[in-house]
Amino acid sequence: MTPERLKRINAMLDQRQPDLTICMEGLHKSHNLAAVVRTCDAIGVSDVHAVWKSDAAEVRGGSAAGSQNWIDVHNYQKTADAIAALKAQGMQILVTNLSATAVNFTEIDYTKPTAIILGQEKFGASDVALELADQHIVIPMVGMVQSLNVSVACSVVLYEAQRQRQLAGMYNKPRLSHERRQRTLFEGGHPIFADACQRKGLPYPEIDEDGQIVANEVWWQKMQMNKSAWQHIDD
């Protein structure tokens, strides 16, 4: 890994917001996920949650999700499971929906751990999401259209979250765990070795402050061998 690439990856990781996330419901178009993931990366969001419309849709969308090297995409088949996972992380759950209890999206305190649920473009958020959410939010519109494209809505809300968090100094101090940073540095800085580790079932090594791999001789030997030939090393 070159010093320039290490510096760029570290600068990105220093501003990641692990307690701000998006959850997309009823996904069946991989390009919608790709567009949202792109925005999340730009904002500093580290994780996206995707509730797929069907098993087949999840398989089709896998390539789009996998091409995003800097965001972790967590897949679900049920909205309730996704929300349960987010609440277990202490997130406030917001859902975009025009209802009697909905508030303008700018009135929310996004410095709190926050998950924003985006419903399917055609049908909106599910009844489950509407019931389990802590708050409904709306993006004011004065034209003839009733809703925005899902990736546009995502951008509008996330940039408000970013504005509030920047004012609160939440982008000024690294917030990712050491383990998460190490994993991203290895996968982003040494992608060939990362792919080999995944294929061979090898643990990821540590990355030092210069971006170089720190591993013992056994790890390097296994990296150069087929898994079937490891036995004499382990014995």
Q: How far apart (Å, rounded) are the C-alpha atoms in residues 105 and 13?
A: 27
Q: How far apart (Å, rounded) are the C-alpha atoms in residues 109 and 80?
A: 24
Flag whether 233 is marked binding.
no
- Cβ proximity of 198 and 173 under 8 Å: no
Flag whether 114 is marked binding.
no
Q: How far apart (Å, rounded) are the C-alpha atoms in residues 231 and 216?
A: 17
Flag whether 39 is marked binding.
no
Q: What CA–CA distances, in Å, run from 62 to 48, 82, 180?
A: 13, 17, 21
81: helix, coil or strand? helix
Residues marked as binding? 96, 139, 148
Residues marked as binding for S-adenosyl-L-methionine? 96, 139, 148
